[in-house]
Homo-oligomer: A and B are copies of this chain.
């Protein structure tokens, strides 16, 4: 058993209204940041998970997401672990 650092990103599902993203987008624009698109606000949770290997840690984190961290009717989640590549179009 060892401890694995997991980062969970939780975002509103696409298509859902995202007032926070809208407000941030608006603020960025009025601060003069042009050419910024698709601004979405979300949550993140970082944790250290005890598991025998990274795969198991990820699996446990998945379960936490399904059970608690994300609300499936509203949110999608992404699990990141050290050494992962940040995906292209998450």
Is A24 part of the contact surface with B, judged by Cβ < 8 Å? yes
Q: Is there an interface contact between A45 and B42, defined as CB atoms closer than 8 Å?
A: yes
Q: Is there an interface contact between B41 and A41, defined as CB atoms closer than 8 Å?
A: no
Within 8 A of B (CB), among A7-34: 7, 9-11, 21, 24-25, 27-28, 31, 33-34
Chain A 77-89 interface mask (CB, 8 Å, partner B; 1/0)? 0001111111111
Beyond A45-B41, A50-B34, whether A85 also contacts B84 by CB under 8 A is yes
Residues of chain B within 8 A of A84, CB atoms compared: 85-86
Question: 7 nearest interchain CB pairs?
Answer: A35-B50, A42-B44, A44-B44, A38-B48, A37-B48, A84-B86, A39-B47
